[in-house]
Amino acid sequence: MSLFENYEEEYLRCARVLNTHINSISARGVTADRVRTTVVQAEMDVAEAEGYVKAMEVEVRSLRGPVKKSCQQKLERYRNDLGSLKREIERARLTGGGARQAGEVSLAPSQGGMSAQRAQMMLETNDILDESTAQLEQTRRVIADTEQVGDNIMSNLEEQKETLVRAHDDVRETRGITREAQRVLRMMGNRALMHTLCLYVVILILLALIGVVINYGFVNKD
């Protein structure tokens, strides 16, 4: 998984947590203390989400080609999404808890319309998050398929390597047999040469003996 995908996953997690905070703040009957506590937690999560968005911005600069364009589109959508979440948190803070309870009767009609608008925006935000999650899952599946293909290629390369190693061993063994055959042939050649020399020596000795016999025969006649 790339760094951008890691940051993306963490941002989506923060966005879901922020939606939970918004629902908690907007819940009917929530106390003012609960609203304040949830708002503080939401602000911390907003800061964390902004950090992941900035990290994605830095990571996008190092990308190239179609991948960079796709990540830029996601990043722009996440910026808009985070802005909407921040506005929703602020609106929920102003209308939630004790403030809403204090003006529940007088502001009921307007709050009803605002709640409907907020609910619509939250639905749209959830749709965006679901779409982003689906895209992330699809990216993970593509990466998993790519890893599977890579594993298959590595397995094939390992098999080819083993075949080459065996072929190399066979060649080395053949070279050893060839060298041994050459040594045997040299020995046979040396023996043949020795036999030839011995034969020449025997012939010379015989010729010498024949000469001696002939010479001795002529001497006796005289």
| In-domain check, residue 43 | yes
| In-domain check, residue 199 | no
pTM for this entry: 0.45
| In-domain check, residue 180 | no
Q: What is the mean pLDDT of residues 168-179?
A: 87
Concatenated DSSP letters of 6-60 = HHHHHHHHHHHHHHHHHHHHHSTT--HHHHHHHHHHHHHHHHHHHHHHHHHHHHH
- At residue 209, does pLDDT exceed 60? yes
| In-domain check, residue 188 | no
Domain that holds residue 34: 3-163
* Count of domains observed in the chain: 1
Residue-level pLDDT at 63 = 82
Q: Compute the Cα dihedral for 21, 30, 95, 121 and give only its sign.
A: positive
| In-domain check, residue 192 | no
| In-domain check, residue 17 | yes
Q: What is the mean pLDDT of residues 205-217?
A: 86
Helix axes 3-26, 32-61, angle to 10 degrees: 160
Identify the CA nearest to 129 among candidates 96, 137, 196.
137
Q: Tell me the CATH number at 147.
A: 1.20.120
The better pLDDT of the pair 127, 43 is held by 43
The span from the CA of 114 to the CA of 26, in Å, is 11
The span from the CA of 25 to the CA of 28, in Å, is 8
Q: What is the mean pLDDT of residues 37-65?
A: 86
Residue-averaged pLDDT of the chain: 78
Residue-level pLDDT at 103 = 42
| In-domain check, residue 193 | no
